Amino acid sequence: MDIVFASSALRHGYTSQDFYELLAGRYLKIRSQRDLEDVYELLGRNLDGDYLHIVYRVLPDRRLRVFHISRMTEKQKRRY
């Protein structure tokens, strides 16, 4: 599966590697909390132990476009 990282995904200091590390561990996948079509959110941890919130969209050609990677809020941590 092809994954595209928007520049906005990397502006909080995280990298594409953090995305793959989150996928390698235990994570929670939820539909967009803003009811956006084909948008999903991931809550999980990278190998450094950071609690991450990742948002991506499934594109029409089935690629994933990751456009947000940041630390979880306290509310997101409780949900995770």
Domains of the chain from N-terminus onward: 3-79 (3.10.450)
pLDDT tens digit string along 24-57?
999 999 998 788 889 999 999 999 999 999 999 9
pLDDT tens digit string along 55-80?
999 999 999 999 999 999 999 999 99
Distance CA 22, CA 37 (A): 23
pLDDT tens digit string along 4-27?
999 999 999 999 999 999 999 999
Calculate the CA 9 to chain-centre distance: 9
Looking at residue 36, its pLDDT comes to 83
